[in-house]
Amino acid sequence: MMNKSPFPGMDPYLEGEMWPEFHDTLIHQIRAQLMPRLQPKYVALLQKYYVVDELGLGVGSESVKRGIYPDVNVARIKEAIADYETITAAAVELISPVPQKTAVLRLDIRDVANRRLVTALEILSPVNKRGPGFRKYLKKRGALLKTKTHLLEIDLLRAGERIPLIGGELPPAPYYVFLSRFTRRPTTEVWPIALRERLPTVPVPLLPPDSDVPLSLQAAVDACFELVGYQNLLDYRQPPLPPLGQEDWDWVAAVASSTSKIER
């Protein structure tokens, strides 16, 4: 049987412990889709960088309860073994947030002749959307926007901060694609993506006068499911995190029930 998500677009259950694996698989599938359209003038190269993640997990947080990325042990309560009569209280063991270095992959499109960075393609990760990692990402983003490099950002995470823009509010949506062409700055093109929609095909700009290359995000996500079979690894019996509104949850539960795994 063909591996396939039960959802028509983005699978909301991927936003959890499977996210790091899915993120890297998606980057590879996007590269595989683009390369035949880029060669021989351009090449898509994987670029790894590291972000220090403060984690920021607190007692009773949903990420701790559900084992959501990053994966840490839940708080445990253990009875203290008293060596003396005066030591009778139970000890409570909790998790101390410890900074961790997290590797993040992005895709750099370069021209073959000069190795110039033409387009940076970023799939946002949780570490890019919270705390110090978000501030560091914005600083790096700001520096890139001062160059003659296009920036394509794909945000398939409902949790965390959004890319700050001015001139109006973002249309309400769980997912977004942002494209900043160096030839049109400060204008940013935005594609809001509804939970029930298929993921769009978006343009990947190159050097003028070369035409944009189309990127089908839906085809890339479908290829990830076909390769790995995420639908067999995700727990469709529980509501996805972060929580959905009741109407969206009713729809998600109805769709997920087609896997015969969900119990309402």
Query: CB count, 10 Å around CB of 68?
Result: 22
Report, as an integer, the average pLDDT of 112-130: 96
Q: Which long-range contacts (CB under 8 A, 24 or more apart) does 86-91 make?
A: none
Please check whether residue 73 is in contact with residue 20, taking contact to mean a CB–CB distance below 8 angstroms: no
Residue 88 predicted with pLDDT over 50: yes
Same domain membership, residue 44 and residue 76: no
Is the residue at 142 inside a domain?
yes
Same domain membership, residue 176 and residue 107: yes
End residue of a domain, out of 78, 97, 116: 97
pLDDT of residue 260: 55
Same domain membership, residue 246 and residue 121: yes
Please check whether residue 241 is in contact with residue 15, taking contact to mean a CB–CB distance below 8 angstroms: yes
Q: Give the 3-state secondary structure of 142-163.
A: HHHHCCCCEEEEEECCCCCCCC
Count of domains observed in the chain: 2
Same domain membership, residue 34 and residue 139: yes
Confidence of residue 167 (pLDDT cuts 50, 70, 90): confident
The token duo for 199 is: 């993921």
Is the residue at 2 inside a domain?
no
Same domain membership, residue 134 and residue 74: no
Same domain membership, residue 84 and residue 187: no
Is the residue at 82 inside a domain?
yes
Q: Residues 36, 42, 45, 51: is their CA dihedral positive or negative?
A: negative
Same domain membership, residue 182 and residue 106: yes
DSSP notation for 29-86: HHHHHHHHHHTTTEEEEEEEEEEEE-----TT-HHHHHTPSS--PPPEEE----SSTT
153 DSSP β-pair partners: 122, 178
Domain that holds residue 216: 12-54+99-259
Is the residue at 66 inside a domain?
yes
Is the residue at 1 inside a domain?
no
- pLDDT tens, 8-31? 999 999 998 999 999 999 999 999
pLDDT of residue 263: 42
Looking at residue 264, what DSSP letter applies?
-
Same domain membership, residue 139 and residue 103: yes
End residue of a domain, out of 41, 71, 97: 97
Same domain membership, residue 245 and residue 179: yes
pLDDT of residue 264: 39
Closest CA to 15 of 160, 132, 219: 160
Same domain membership, residue 127 and residue 169: yes
Is the residue at 148 inside a domain?
yes
The token duo for 168 is: 């109006």
Confidence of residue 68 (pLDDT cuts 50, 70, 90): very low
Please check whether residue 5 is in contact with residue 57, taking contact to mean a CB–CB distance below 8 angstroms: no
Type and span of the H or E element at 186: none
pLDDT of residue 87: 65
Same domain membership, residue 162 and residue 88: no
Same domain membership, residue 103 and residue 93: no
pLDDT of residue 223: 98
Is the residue at 105 inside a domain?
yes
Residue appearing with tokens 């998500």: 5
